[in-house]
Amino acid sequence: MRINLDALLILDALERHGSFAAAAAALFKTPSALSYMVQKLESDLDITLLDRSGHRAKFTDTGKLMLDKGRILLRAAQDLEQQARYVESGWESDLSLAVDASFPFERLLPLIDEFYRHHHHTRLRFSHEVLAGSWEALVYGCADIIIGAICEPPSRAGFSFSPLGRLEYIFTVAPHHPLATLPEPLLKTTIRQHRAVVVHDTSRVKTPQSLHVLDEQDQLTVFSFEAKLQAQLAGLGCGYLPRYLAEPYLNTGQLVAKNVEAERYSDTAYFGWRESATGLAAAWWRERLQAYVDAGSIYSSL
């Protein structure tokens, strides 16, 4: 490659300072050295960067193009240098975090903001998982950290986990749903006669699971808890929703909570990580998530 960063730096300094003398002073070089570098670049590429016919050299159209595009390369090179130093000091260039669909992603926004204010050179990659797919994302290397997994943690070596909190559920239906006016507790034989709205398990290896769905119950499968909420608000089915998600609609009467026989009210949610993810960004997130948990219920109403 015949374009070098030193020549681009000279063009940048020449445009900003207006003359070879001023640019040379800013770069701690001699004007003749700068002039030689520019002329060599022109010769190597067989182009004209500067119009030297007047009292002061001016950029040609080609020179302006080289200046504009060159500055992009200079910024990229500077960013590369910073990232290299950042990674050398122990910070990852990328960190992958898988978030279970049942977890309120809004809770992570303050942590993301705090992280980027101090460590913007690490690119965060969030993915969306459901049920068994959450742990699979960790076990099969798709994520460094999983947040909000509610299935049983993996028993194999190389992975660690910590309780994140209790995810509480409420069995809800729309006011116009047939189950809304039936006496409580609802019998499972009665519930089985009505369609359940379920969120699709993203498991790619194990058999997909359904959360609190009865055998032989008709199912409407959707892609997220938000979609499940909307389907139940529309009366398209019944089912359990996380309390933090359902409460605002219970308060306005858009959903009705129903007691169910032998009801299961909550699951333990976890965050887990690959023990091989030893970088400082992974450690930062583990520490902040634990501190977040210690400060109070992460699943309280938003």
Choice between 109 and 51, residue whose per-residue pLDDT is larger: 109
At residue 207, the pLDDT reads: 57
Choice between 222 and 52, residue whose per-residue pLDDT is larger: 222
Going by their DSSP bridges, the two strands 266-274 and 145-149 should be labelled as antiparallel
Structure tokens at 182: 């039936």
Mean pLDDT of 46-51: 90
At residue 108, the pLDDT reads: 93
pTM of the model: 0.72
Chain centre distance of CA 237: 31
Structure tokens at 100: 């279970």
Strands, E assignment, the chain: 50-51, 58-59, 94-100, 123-129, 145-149, 159-173, 196-199, 219-222, 239-242, 256-257, 266-274
Give per-residue pLDDT as tens, 110-154.
999 999 998 888 999 999 999 888 999 998 889 999 999 988 888
At residue 91, the pLDDT reads: 85
Beta bridge partners of 168: 266
| pLDDT level of residue 206 (50, 70, 90 thresholds) | low
At residue 181, the pLDDT reads: 95
- Distance between CA atoms of 144 and 275, rounded to whole angstroms? 9
- Distance between CA atoms of 168 and 148, rounded to whole angstroms? 13
Element of type H or E holding 277: none
In the chain, the domains with their CATH numbers are 5-88 (1.10.10.10), 94-165+268-295 (3.40.190.10), 167-267 (3.40.190.290)
Task: Tell me the three-class secondary structure of 212-232, residue by residue.
Answer: CCCCCCCEEEECCHHHHHHHH
At residue 1, the pLDDT reads: 64
At residue 55, the pLDDT reads: 78
3-state secondary structure of 186: strand
Give per-residue pLDDT as tens, 142-189.
999 999 998 888 887 889 999 998 899 999 999 999 999 999 999 999
User: Which one, of 53, 56, 55, lies nearest residue 20 by Cα?
Assistant: 56
Q: Is a pLDDT exceeding 90 seen at residue 80?
A: no
Compute the half-sphere exposure of residue 295: CA atoms within 13 Å on the CB side of its CA: 9
Per the prediction, the chain carries an average pLDDT of: 88
Give per-residue pLDDT as tens, 221-275.
999 999 999 999 999 999 999 999 999 999 999 999 999 987 777 889 999 999 9
At residue 209, the pLDDT reads: 58
